[in-house]
Chain A
Amino acid sequence: MKATLLEMKNISIEFPGVKALDGVDFKTLTGRTHALIGANGAGKSTLMKVLSGAYNHFTGRIYYDGEEINIKEPRDAQVHGIQIVYQEVDTALISYLTVGENIMLNELVSHMGNKQFVNYKQIHKSATEILASLNMDVSSKQLVSELTLAEKQMVLIARATTSDCKFLILDEPTAPLSHTETEKLFEVVARLKANNVGIIFISHRLPELFEICDDITVMRNGRFIIEEKISETSVNRVVEHMIGEKLKNQFPDMEKEIGDLLFEAQDIADGDKITGVDLQVRAGEIIGLAGLVGAGKTEICKALFGATKDATGTIKLHGKKVKVMSPQQAVKNGLALVPEERRKEGVLILENVATNLTSSHLDNFLKVFSFLDFRKERKVANEMVASIGVKTPSIDTKVQNLSGGNQQKVAIGKWLLADADIYIFDEPTKGIDVGSKKDVFELIAALAKRGKGIIYASSELAEIMGITDKVYIIYDGEVTKEVPTKETTEEELLYFSTGGR
Chain B
Amino acid sequence: MSVLTSPPAAGVPRVKVTQVRVLRSEWTKFRSVRSTRWTLLIALVLMIGIGALFAAVNASQYQGFSAADRASFNPVTVSLSGTTFAVIAFGVLGVLTMSGEYGTGMIRSSLTVVPRRLPVLWGKLGVFAAVVFTTSLTASLTAFWLGQALLSSHHLGVSITSPGALRSVAGAALYITVCGLLGVTLGTLFRNTAAGIATFAGVFFVLPPLTSLLPSSITNHLTQYLPEGAGSVIWGQTEGVSRALSPWTGFAVLCLYAVILIAAAAWRLGHSDA
- State whether these chains interact: no
Where the two chains meet, the residues of A that have a C-beta atom closer than 8 Å to any C-beta of B are none
Where the two chains meet, the residues of B that have a C-beta atom closer than 8 Å to any C-beta of A are none
